[in-house]
Amino acid sequence: MTTHILITGASRGIGAAIAEALTGDATKVVALSSADGDLSDPATPDRLWQASLDRLDGRIDVLVNNAGVFEANPLGDPNTDWLANWNRTMQVNLTASAQLC
């Protein structure tokens, strides 16, 4: 039986290494990156999930939530900038992962 795997944040670094390590004869892998959709948009996780289901024959056996961002918040920046960066970080790093789960 083929294992169907969805990986986010797979364009470089750890995500790319995970995708490479899990790709084989017994697996079918969809490796997503920011080019596939911006996870800071709350509608994107659902869209990516549905598109991945289509590519994986309607089944996802393994989800690797690897996508993440870091937003620098230097002291002295306006509070509105800090809040926007915080919200983007929470959406990408936590909320989008929960939505995909």
Q: Enter the CATH code of domain 3-100.
A: 3.40.50.720
Backbone angles phi, psi at 65, to 5 degrees: -85, 90
| Mean predicted lDDT score pLDDT of the chain | 96
| Confidence grade of residue 29 (pLDDT, cut at 50, 70, 90) | very high
Tokens 């939505």 found at: 99
The full 3-state SS of 15-61, as one line of letters, equals: HHHHHHHHCCCCEEEEECCHHHCCCCCCCHHHHHHHHHHHHCCCCCC
Type of residue numbered 98 = A
Residue partners of 10: CB distance under 8 A and separation at least 6: 16, 18, 19, 31, 32, 33, 66
| pLDDT tens string 48-91 | 999 999 999 999 999 999 999 999 888 888 999 999 999 999 99
Annotated domain spans of the chain? 3-100
Q: Which helix (H) or strand (E) holds 85?
A: helix 79-90
